[in-house]
Structure 1
Amino acid sequence: MGVVETNVRRDCLAATAVRSFPSQWSFSSNVDSCGGLARIMVAWNPLVLQVSVVYASPQLVLAQVESLEDHRVFCISVIYGFNNISARRGLWIDLRSASLLVGTGAWLQLSDYNVVRKMAERMEGFHNDAAVEFNDCLHDLELEDMPAKGFWYPWTSKRGGLGDNKSKLDRAMVHAKWLTDLPGSEAWFLHPGVSDQCKILITVLPAVSVRRPFKFFSFWMSHGMFKELLVTSWTAHVHCHSHLLKLSLKLKRLKPVLRQLNKAHYSNISLQVEEARSKLHQIHEDYFSHPHDPILCEAEKMALSQFMVLSLAEEGFKK
């Protein structure tokens, strides 16, 4: 959990954490970088995550996180940018420094940058120079918006009616590495309630493995081992009195046998076809130069047969 705009004095941090975070959670802040007044606090469940704050500044807290369940390691930054464009330039320096610590690892930024990227993200008061500096930093760090749902404008002035001003000041930004390692991630911008900012909830879903349905390829029957494998599997005894169930069990038992046949002889089929084509081409060149060579004649016959078998197998895969 990351909280910004806390403005908590050093001597009040522990008491504030007890009142604000779940029992037994650990916490940290950027109080040492802000003259004794924390602007950002982070908290976590130590039974689920091992967290180490590796960099802190007045506008940024960077933490390395390890999941104790699957030992996956990633980095998270909680950011609260200054309102002033000049003061905010320190954030762009901080982020570039932080990127050196993150390296090529997965990195998530949960951020109130206090600046927008383009005019469409703010109803009024757009500052082009500030947007240019912001975009330059994101480009240098190769960061992009995480797939998001919920409120498009996470910040509102809370004036109400036509006088209400809205902006996209808050974002969840990630490296491409994050989306590769955690492809099910989404950012949810939740209802702000009484606050002028939306809460950001990050969901990290495990990749769902979809079992591919079994598909029978007719070219398997042309393989020399097919009949033997089929007879061996099919004639093996099945302890069952129901004929229908016996048929089902035999089919289920045959599937891994055929899958193994396919893996052993037809994996990377396109590469095998290209290799067979090259081999046939080379034999043709040699054979045309020595048309009466019986060894080349037999080699051409075998290479052509192999190429035809593999080509038909590739065609069967692509249907």
Structure 2
Amino acid sequence: MGDFNEIVQVEERRGADTLPLTAEDFKNWVHDMGVVDLLITNRKFTWFKGRSCSRIDRVLVSLEWLENFSETRMRGGPRGLSDHCPIIVEERRRSDGPRPFRSLDSWFTHEDFLRLVKEEWRGLGEAPFTDKLKALTVPLGRWHKNNFGNMDKTIMKFEKEIKKIDEMVGDGVYDGTMEARRKALVTCCEKWYVRKELHWKQMSRSRHTKDIDKNTRYFHNLASARRRNNRIDELLINGRLIRNQARIKIAVRDFYKNLYHQEESPLVGFRDGLVEMIDEDDALALEVQPNPQEIKEAV
């Protein structure tokens, strides 16, 4: 942790339109080292000089660190007389609350997934859409546990079978059925590799993934880091800094409730004689379907 004197995003320097050439080298170095750059939770910049502001102070933690301290957070303290803000690393354990409905990309690779959804959806009848989604989480949770609960164990089982066939071939035992069985096992094993990578790629939303990289441990920790960074620890409400999670949730809910509520429109009436009745020819002309030439001219 400390002053790395480098930004990795344009937003990390006020007034910047492009990244310096050294930024790409720094990002590649962070990726190659297998470390995670913790996001700062309570401020945008950590270094100030006149009108210049940048976020160049960082904390890079290893995957082993995140496994042992999964709730690691970083925040900046008051700058005081220094041109840098002190960096504070701490571990906070708190409940995330209820989670929204989500589907996993890996589910769509399973031949039974869509059939299960259709059957469960029909069984819910004419219930409201949101209630159906909520009810669907229960059978989907059981189905996920039964089919995707232990992907590593499933892959290991196929790999053992493949290895057993290879050993038999090495001992001189071979026939056509063994080769066909080996091909079938390899196909199934590849499917589960893809499902596993799709799962962790979606969970991490990592831009570093290339050609379905098998480094799922890295993606797993990126997913955990993303969940930490998406939390709201404090919120400025009507000029007051609020840290109570219950009050923050109520404030966020009320904000979007007011933002998206339906506004009442005044009823507009027409006085007698204000609108004249059109004649029958004009009324029929309004209901005539436009011909292709009229559409072409309008377009």
Structure scoring higher RCO (CA < 8 A, sep ≥ 6) equals: 2
Question: What TM-score do the two structures reach when normalised by structure 1?
Answer: 0.30
Greater strand proportion: 1
